[in-house]
Structure 1
């Protein structure tokens, strides 16, 4: 398959185009060899016709393309869909390689005075800006010692590829990278192309789709892959470089606290997922532990090979000698090599620890030894090696593998990542209701007022007597919830307290929701009646109404002395999670963003009044419709004081792969989070709220957008039928992309649908409605009401206010990926003609109005004018996306008319895969 020319592309894109052409040519040769010349010719004809239509806006080409696609047999349809889908995946690989190329070019370019490459969004550049702002090295060290930057991986299912497919794609990426980095001989170059052809052929012969539904532990295994790809190697290196950057003038690089801490929901998030049980959570923690311990053991094996230092050639410390003498290693060849003996001792103890934790060890130790009681003991032994090397002028050796291993042990412990527990507040309420009713019949907790609930719960939390009795029979749901909490207590004993640090309450509606969790934690020993807690109790505010009341709820909660003591026991830090996805589905893109922003302002004020440090946990998805977009800009657009050196943020779906499958890109994305946290905390004024007239204008603007969005989605009769008819929502539910059900209930109501399939469905039909709908109406209504301010004022908002600028920038990207012509074909799937015409006309008008208003405010003539690289990328993908959309529509029509045809359904699933790959952040 050839590719379209990127007309007007910069010279910097030459290598990208070359990579895409290379991969397209190899894929085309593979299609010809595997499927035959007629299929290859068909694919090429479709490609060339689609390119001609997009390049020249050629109407005859569009009709020709549709005729070709409509005339294909089902077998040819599946082959064409696979070809175009694989091309999207290969184009993504080439673009990622281009991003890596640009990162390297920047990091090898001009350096700042501190000796680190200057680059926007990177940690080094943020430190340079801080120094320019007269922030001292001591203050920077103090900042990082109290900072927390925590990416939290979730299993929210928008990654439609199989692990096997991902592995093959990563092999192709490695081969491209090798061709880029190494100067190959002619023979090596020929061998490299043959390897590439072999990898693409294997990819072609690998099923794109999963044959069976993922289980939770399958999702855990997939998530753990990214520790091998990126986190275990790059997190320690980021900390090491930062220590060097913040070293004293004498060159001392005293250890900094590990501020980058990985988190996970995979295996602990049971909100709406009945498959996350206590046993599954135990299995998750065990898998995480196994990954961490085997990494340490492999690193120790390599370290032992490196530290061949002889005692007769270099001094060692007394404590190192004692560690070596306690080694069980009987080999005479290592008798004079104290470091190797010491490493053998550490390895044997860690291997014994693994056996105690029921972790399989890949390489047996030389002899038996006592296991470590905890990760701290392991760290102490590593520190002995470090101190001995430093004391004996071997610091350069200490700065290699040993340094990274010491930092890894501090970052990842024996638990690897902190596993969050999450459950819906309604489940907690039912559990508490049953516990009280069994203990004191007639209590009727669920019927109590909020004040009465608070009084009852606070009394019980501070009472040492248990509420649960082993002699009472509880419901299956209550037993399951209690088992989860007991498993969390067990995890603290086995893996350490960092194994589970957060208990998150979805759909938090009141103070009692947090106190219910405190009581459940007390019943398993994780909250002490005297006022200490071993977990953070975290409210999650998700809907528009919840966001509007969250500050009031937290104000009342922090005023309770008994709860305030629990916060004090957690370092006087209270975490609050804000939900982007559900608030967007509830109120639309504009209002969701605005209510989140307002909530943060109000929370900052409440927490400052109570003298408690606020840590925000941002539940952002990959797509703009679920709070996605560039992380750096999003963090800097927060109101003043909302990023106080600590931030947690979800990483979801296919964005996990795009960000963290490659170590170079992964390191950059981690540094972006850290740099933005530093910038937002130290370089923005503490009270940098915008002018009052901006806030008032945005409140009014949001109300207009909210009315337009709610008017369509929730108040238009028949909209639910339109949505289910014009999108792939029903077919997504049959795609094996995750363990979680698509809806919270069996109804078709938008309210019960999860935000992920809601956004994913609109992306597939190329409308992207959750990322823009209501904006155009809001602009029209605002200008009509304020003719004196008008468009000039909105332009001022865009120019002066980072929040408004980010809002429009994200909308710019979403609208650029949309296609009203493609969307109209999906609308035709709705059988009710009147309903179809009425609703689609509204959507089309809003789409055009939103684009016109957006361009006028930004001062642009076309979408993505300010981001030419992304503009070219999207434009060059359209010729490969449009045929997939066309085929998907026809397959949907056939599937819905003929019923269960496995071949047709498989074709739909393949198109979902290909369109998702082409759009990248689609869910």
Structure 2
């Protein structure tokens, strides 16, 4: 019932507003774009009717030109198509802004998964003390990455923020002028952003969204669950940061860049304190207090602008002084303002967000090999002997003796202590290793610190393996077992409080093993790693590289974490957030607070409110293993199909990802012209399927596995699993969300293609099979029936971008045929890619 009311509200405050403001939009004085708003509906209709009639995108666009324009030359037609893309990009921004503005009206304080709801539930179930107990040692961490799944230039982002405000107050005049500004503001980065640009873009969110959001949420939790004895630890909500620290596959991230970004983070938090303090000083104008706060103000100023050192303790010392005078001489007036400020200083320190270093294990091995050869000559020894000998080294290695990546790696490690000195130990405290599948991958990093001159007790860094391929996940248990038993590493862990963070890569896991298999392997890996860590007295923290869409391991995050049973360690929920997921899920205060709360309560509910549906029975486990194996086989066969990579290369937008200038990182690993599956990055890989409206990684093999069970007369077992296991149910619903964003009619034309027709049919058949069997399993009559708001949002977005997809496919067809102005058609593909990426934000 509540669902229906919300869906109706969505219709009123999102759909209807979009219709109204979109009509404003149509009359805007764009440069040479006066009649686009009139023409666009015709292109939509031609597309919709044309695709259902199995026409090709080329036929559809040509008929649109013929029936609705009098354009003759290719140049005129191309100009119109570029204008249409610009227009649709701005429609997407308008819809985003309307949807964001509606957020507070579509969600309430006591929704499931909120702090208020958790409190009410814990009172009812007499679990209040248990929740307080869990809050004492539980935390969540959201790690922002620069992976480019969406990047508006900052000028456009600012218009979006202002539009949201104008729409909230229904100020038609403001909306009108902002839409005009939007019409004349370029949407495309002329050049690729640098890692510094990416960092600054996300730092602006830290300053203008998260500083207040996290501060206010902390106060809310304190007030909700507080009593005389309850102390809420300041690390309960943490932020992590990858831009400028993540050098995996990004040659533009250097030691110098890392240092600069660390400085920007420090400067940003001090500026936030400085402006917050201004507000407090307006209230605390009392004798004694005012003087202390003026001194603090000057100290912060000197730290920001004159490079003077300031620590957290320096700031807290002043706030304590001010509080003492306030309490003793001024009746504690406005004390809550000072307490609130002090809490934020404890939360954000001088670091704001923890800057991680990440690099690929293969690069590390190259560094170790070169350093070893330099010291000991070219003697043949095992990798194990190399790191063991380098760990024992007594003299610091001089980075100037090397060049390129080796020199930069040594410089990066050497400056860690310097960054920790300025930003505090929370500013940088871990080194993540991509593609980990061996003990040497962790020990090599330990060796780096030793050859850079650190003594054992000076290595104040956690070394974090990232298991992300099927092979890596399968090896994880043996790797960690050996590491926990390694005397050198064991001592290191003791110095780090016997705590080990392990990262698991959903994105590459899904790309490698398919949707169901990847999720199951990660679940299983977490179970064995929990067990082995417990046996060794190690507190294990799992860090999930989840990203955004279900096809990249994302999906409905609260449900996912709330569905993990007692066999998986639950000390902390930690995950990566990127691209459009930053703007759509954590992009403004209301949304960010709601989603931080959802994460926090998922972890607490998991421990406090035990539920049989969270723990898998032996029977359920066996069935999931069977399903995962069948689906993996089906997906592996697809990957091994000789047309798999050529299809993506020739029929999708894969080759154009690197040209969008939305991220600083190259879109594939390795050099060379021949494209290999393992070189594909997860983002362009999944993004290309998404642009084709096929979303293959989000469902392929899943439906087939269930169909096999049905053929064996065992479908009742699958239904029982769906009803009995929250984990399996979440996977099914996420996969259905992925399928709801497919539109195979867009590529019906490929089935007649002599080279790719058969391959396309394999995809289409599996989609139909998966859709039918999941609807039968859930009893739904349509995909995403359980989440009407999300479904409606997806529908509107898909409608907005259909003409964009027609243009993109039209351009790709022209390129395949080698017809006309190929450079211009290539630009059309890239530009439409951009608009489509920005539109597909319903993915977390």
Name the TM-score class by shorter chain: over 0.9
Q: So what's the TM-score if we normalise by structure 2?
A: 0.93
Displacement of 1:384 after TM fit?
Answer: 2.4
Q: CA deviation at 1:660?
A: 2.2
Q: Structure 1 pair 918/348, CA: closer, same or farther in 2 (3 Å)?
A: closer
The TM-score normalised by the length of structure 1 is 0.85
Secondary structure at the counterpart of residue 78 of structure 1? helix
Contact 1:768 1:814 (C-alpha < 8 Å) held by counterparts: yes
The one of 173, 176, 201 aligned to 1:194:
173
C-alpha deviation, 1:354, in angstroms: 2.6
Q: Separation in 1 of the partners of 2:253 and 2:54?
A: 52
Task: Pick closer, same or farther for the CA change 1:11–1:577 going to 2, 3 Å.
Answer: closer
Contact conserved, 1:533 with 1:569, CA < 8 A, in 2? no
Please point out which of 761, 773, 782 is paired with 2:709: 782
Q: Quick check: 1:736 aligned with 2:733? A: no
Identify the match of residue 176 of structure 1 among 137, 155, 167.
167
Q: 2:244 is matched with which residue: 264, 267, 270?
A: 267
Question: Which one of 774, 783, 796 corresponds to residue 863 of structure 1?
Answer: 783
Give, in whole Å, the separation in 2 of the partners of 1:758 and 1:558: 35
SS of match in other structure, 1:717:
coil
- Work out which of the residue numbers 16, 40, 43 in structure 1 matches 2:40: 43
1:298 matches 2:272: no
Matched, 1:491 2:419: yes
Measured in 2, the distance between the counterparts of 1:7 and 1:50 equals 33
Q: Which residue in the other structure is 1:213 paired with?
A: 192
Secondary structure in structure 2 of the residue aligned to 1:261: strand
Is structure 2 residue 646 aligned with structure 1 residue 721? yes
- Relative to structure 1, the CA distance from residue 20 to residue 227 in structure 2 (aligned partners, 3 Å threshold; closer, same or farther) is same
Give per-residue Cα distances to partners, 1:380-407, cap 9 Å, x unaligned. Answer: 211222344345574461212x233212
Cα distance in structure 2, aligned partners of 1:814 and 1:81? 25
Give the corresponding residue for 1:101. Answer: 105
Residue number in structure 2 paired with 1:342 = 292
- How many equivalent residue pairs? 829
Contact 1:726 1:827 in 2 (8 A): no
Deviations 1:584-643, CA, capped at 9 Å, x for gaps: 111111111111111111111111111111100000111111111111011112242434
1:563 Cα shift?
1.0
Cα distance between partner residues in 2 of 1:595 and 1:141: 33
If you compute each CA radius of gyration, which structure gives the higher value, 1 or 2?
1
1:614 corresponds to 2:564: no
| Alignment equivalent of 1:457, drawn from 380, 383, 387 | 387
Q: Out of 800, 807, 810, which is 1:890 matched to? A: 810
The yes-or-no answer on 1:770 pairing with 2:697 is: yes
Asked if 1 retains the 8 angstrom alpha-carbon contact of 2:801 and 2:836, the reply is: yes
> Aligned pair in 2 of structure 1 residues 853, 389: CA closer, same or farther (>3 Å)?
same
1:473 aligns with 2:401: yes
Contact kept? 2:359, 2:433, Cα under 8 Å: yes
1:385 to 1:82, Cα distance in 2 relative to 1, 3 A: same
1 CA distance for matches of 2:615 and 2:459?
34
Say what the alpha-carbon RMSD is for the aligned residues: 2.7
Please list the CA deviations of residues 5-45 of structure 1 after superposition, one character each: whole Å capped at 9, or x if unmatched.
Answer: x99962553122332122211211116x6546543431243
Confirm or deny that 1:917 pairs with 2:838: yes
1:22 to 1:643, Cα distance in 2 relative to 1, 3 A = farther
User: In the TM superposition, what whole-angstrom CA distance separates every residue of 1:170-197 from its partner, at most 9, and x where no partner exists?
Assistant: 1111101223xxxxxxxxxxxx312111
Unaligned runs of 5+ in 1: 1-5, 108-117, 180-191, 310-336, 358-370
SS of residue matched to 1:657 = helix
Name the counterpart of 1:559. Answer: 485
Query: For residues 50 and 589 of structure 2, what CA distance do their matches in structure 1 show?
Result: 38
Distance 1:878 1:554, change over 3 A: same
Distance 1:53 1:21 in 2: 24
**Per the alignment, in what secondary structure is the counterpart of residue 343 of structure 1?**
helix
Separation in 2 of the partners of 1:817 and 1:731? 21
Q: Is the 8 A contact 2:103 2:590 kept in 1?
A: no
Query: Shift of residue 373 of structure 1?
Result: 4.6
Kept in 1: contact 2:723–2:729 (CA 8 A): yes
Distance 1:100 1:47, change over 3 A: farther
| 1:850 aligns with one of 764, 770, 780 | 770
Q: Is the 8 A contact 2:550 2:698 kept in 1?
A: yes
SS of 2:755's partner is: helix
Contact kept? 1:270, 1:421, Cα under 8 Å: yes
Residue of 331, 345, 354 corresponding to 1:409:
345
2:351 equivalent to 1:354: no
Q: Is the CA contact 2:751–2:760 (under 8 Å) kept in the aligned structure 1?
A: yes
Instruction: Go from structure 1 to structure 2 and tell me whether the alpha carbon gap of 1:643 and 1:606 turns closer, same or farther (over 3 Å shift).
Output: closer
Deviation at 1:345, TM superposition (A): 0.7
Which of the residues 102, 122, 126 maps onto 1:130?
A: 122
Distance, in Å, in 2 between the alignment partners of 1:904 and 1:60 is 20
Matches within 5 A, 1:669-748: 669-684=595-610, 689-713=615-639, 715-746=640-671, 747-748=674-675
* Shift in alpha-carbon separation, 1:36–1:217, aligned structure 2, 3 A: closer
1:907 maps onto 2:835 in alignment:
no
Q: Do structure 1's residue 426 and structure 2's residue 362 form an aligned pair?
A: yes
| Worse overlay, 500-509 or 561-570 | 561-570
Q: Distance in 1 between matches of 2:723 and 2:414?
A: 53
What are the within-5 Å matches in structure 2 for residues 130-169 of structure 1? 130-137=122-129, 139-169=130-160
Shift of 1:569: 1.3
Q: Give distance in 2, aligned partners of 1:444 and 1:827.
A: 55
